[in-house]
């Protein structure tokens, strides 16, 4: 059995940073977590991927093709569909060893997760053919959840992803370390949201949109409350306990470590004598 997280979310939500944080956290515990980059438009990330889709196809290949003439969004979709048609490349990159723990760092195009089927098809192949036990990790920037309307919007986006992918799912609020103390305290109220409070905030707004669609907002709030459909877990990458809590939650979801030997790597320790200057 192999284990994996499909790391998804809007552009700029911190997916690559999340992946590099988990890699570092695992290394500190002398464990191994690998990352596969699935973003064909990625320019920079600070982890060493075990496989990189850009070696198969780059978004520029689709955009600069004389016949296709795709834009950035169409190019990303084409690249992901091309990956599905060439999964033997990915299978070769991943190898066939058991007990792997792999993060799949996906593109930041939200349409791929909310209503297109390409990521769901990809997850099905990983589960059925490559023997992966998966969960989806949906990241959303804390800056976009600090008031009622934005919170409802983020909640509906997360719900759309949950329904579309049909995977065990965890929603994570990222960049908590960038919030001020007052904003962080305000955000705490959204971790266990009271729809009545959110709706009261919206009803006090002078926005014509809020006034016009008050009944729709009320219906969405009641849906969230009645069925407890969406919850968010905060992540502060500067807090090791916060990272460990998130990883433990995900490991429980995918049953990692219950029946397997944890994959470890021998890390070289610096000789104390090497750091001393000669007398």
- What is the per-residue pLDDT for 266? 58
Output the CA–CA distances (angstroms, integers) from residue 104 to 65, 115, 154, in the order listed: 27, 19, 22
Output the CA–CA distances (angstroms, integers) from residue 165 to 112, 145, 220, 224, in the order listed: 10, 23, 21, 19
Q: Is pLDDT at 262 greater than 60 in this prediction?
A: no
- What is the per-residue pLDDT for 180? 77
Q: Is pLDDT at 270 greater than 60 in this prediction?
A: no
Integer-rounded Cα Rg, in Å, for the chain is 21
Strands 101-105 and 2-8: parallel
The span from the CA of 191 to the CA of 177, in Å, is 16
Burial class of residue 152 in the structure, from the number of CB atoms within 10 Å of its CB (0-12 exposed, 13-18 middle, 19+ buried) = buried
Long-range CB contacts (within 8 A, 24+) of 255-264: 255/133, 256/3, 256/101, 256/133, 259/1, 260/1, 260/98, 260/99, 261/99, 262/31, 262/99, 263/31, 263/32, 263/99, 263/100, 263/101, 264/30, 264/31, 264/32
Tabulate helix, strand, coil % of the chain (nearest 5): 50, 15, 35
- Two tokens, residue 272: 């104390």
Cβ contact 138:168 at 8 Å: no
Quick one: average pLDDT of 224-252?
Answer: 88
Cβ contact 22:103 at 8 Å: yes
Percent of the chain residues past pLDDT 70, beyond the cut: 83
- What is the per-residue pLDDT for 6? 97
- What is the per-residue pLDDT for 272? 54
Least reliable range by pLDDT among 41-45, 55-59, 161-165, 237-241: 41-45
Q: Which residue in 44, 52, 47 sits closest to 32, CA to CA? A: 47
The span from the CA of 202 to the CA of 217, in Å, is 9
Q: What is the pLDDT of residues 61-85, one digit of tens each?
A: 888 877 878 888 888 999 999 999 9
Percent of the chain residues past pLDDT 90, beyond the cut: 51
Q: What is the pLDDT of residues 89-130, one digit of tens each?
A: 999 999 887 888 999 999 999 999 998 999 999 999 999 999
Task: Give the residue with greater pLDDT, 278 vs 214.
Answer: 214
- What is the per-residue pLDDT for 193? 61
Average pLDDT, the chain: 84
Quick one: average pLDDT of 184-212?
Answer: 66
Burial class of residue 160 in the structure, from the number of CB atoms within 10 Å of its CB (0-12 exposed, 13-18 middle, 19+ buried) = middle
- What is the per-residue pLDDT for 196? 63
pLDDT band at 279 (very low <50, low <70, confident <90, very high): very low
pLDDT band at 165 (very low <50, low <70, confident <90, very high): very high
Q: What is the pLDDT of residues 187-197, one digit of tens each?
A: 776 676 666 66
pLDDT band at 185 (very low <50, low <70, confident <90, very high): confident
pTM value? 0.84
């Amino acid at each position: 059995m192999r284990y994996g997280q499909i790391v998804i979310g809007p552009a700029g939500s911190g997916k690559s940073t999340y992946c590099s944080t988990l890699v570092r956290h695992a290394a500190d515990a002398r464990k191994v977590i690998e990352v596969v980059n699935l973003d064909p438009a990625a320019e920079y990330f600070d982890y060493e991927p075990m496989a990189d889709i850009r070696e198969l196809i780059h978004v520029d290949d689709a955009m600069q093709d004389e016949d296709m003439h795709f834009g950035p969004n169409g190019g990303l979709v084409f690249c992901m569909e091309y990956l599905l048609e060439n999964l033997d490349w990915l299978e070769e990159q991943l190898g066939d060893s058991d007990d792997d723990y792999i993060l799949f760092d996906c593109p930041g195009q939200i349409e791929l997760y909310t209503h297109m089927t390409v990521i769901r098809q990809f997850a099905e192949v990983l589960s059925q053919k490559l023997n992966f036990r998966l969960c989806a990790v949906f990241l959303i920037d804390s800056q976009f959840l600090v008031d009622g309307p934005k919170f409802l919007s983020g909640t509906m986006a997360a719900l759309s992803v949950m329904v579309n992918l049909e995977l065990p799912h965890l929603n994570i609020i990222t960049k908590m370390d960038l919030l001020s103390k007052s904003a962080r305290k305000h955000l705490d109220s959204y971790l266990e949201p009271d729809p009545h409070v959110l709706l009261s905030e919206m009803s006090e707004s002078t926005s014509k949109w809020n006034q016009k669609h008050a009944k729709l907002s009320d219906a969405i709030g009641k849906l969230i409350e009645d069925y407890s459909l969406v919850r968010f877990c905060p992540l502060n990458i500067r807090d090791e306990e916060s990272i460990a809590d998130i990883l433990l939650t995900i490991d429980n979801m995918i049953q990692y470590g219950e029946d397997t030997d944890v994959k470890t790597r021998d890390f070289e320790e610096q000789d104390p004598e090497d750091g001393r200057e000669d007398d």
